[in-house]
Amino acid sequence: MTMVTALVSLALGRPVRSDVGMTGEVTLNGRVLPIGGAKQKLLAAQRAGLSTVFLPARNEPDLDDVPADVLESVEVRLVSDVADLLRSAITSAEEQAVQAA
C-alpha cells in the first residue's frame, strides 16, 4: 500500500498526509491483502504519534488483540481496495492550497 500511495502521490504532485501510516500488500487489480503483526504495527504507530493507520479490511479480527488505549488514540481505517486508501491518504487540492498559504 505504501509504494502505491507514494507513486500516485508523485504522479499527481499531491503529498500524502503526514499524520497517517499504512501497511498491506496490493494485488495487480487493486485489492488489499492482509498482513501479520497488526497489533505491533498499531503500537508503533501510536508511539510515533500518528493519528490514522490504514489496515487491510481482512485484518479487522486482529483489532481484538489491540489495547483499548491504542484504539482510542489511533484511528484505524480498514480498506479492501487501493482506491479507498488513495482517496483518504493523499491530500486533496483544497488541503494542499491551505497548507501552502
Residue 98's pLDDT is 52
Residue 100's pLDDT is 56
* Backbone φ, ψ for residue 80 (5° rounding): -115, -10
Q: Cell 484511528 maps to which residue?
A: 75
- Total domains in the chain come to 1
> pTM score, two decimals?
0.86
Can you give the CATH number for the domain in which 74 is found? Answer: 3.30.230.10
Residue 91's pLDDT is 80
* Backbone φ, ψ for residue 92 (5° rounding): -75, 165
Q: What is the residue range of 55's domain? A: 2-100
> Which residue numbers in the chain have pLDDT < 70?
93-101
C-alpha cell at 48: 510515533
Question: In this predicted model, what pLDDT tens digit does every residue of 73-96 receive, in sequence order?
Answer: 999 999 999 999 999 999 876 655
DSSP state string for 3-72: HHHHHHHHHHT-PBPTTEEE--EE-TTSBEEP-S-HHHHHHHHHHHT-SEEEEEGGGGGGGGGS-HHHHH
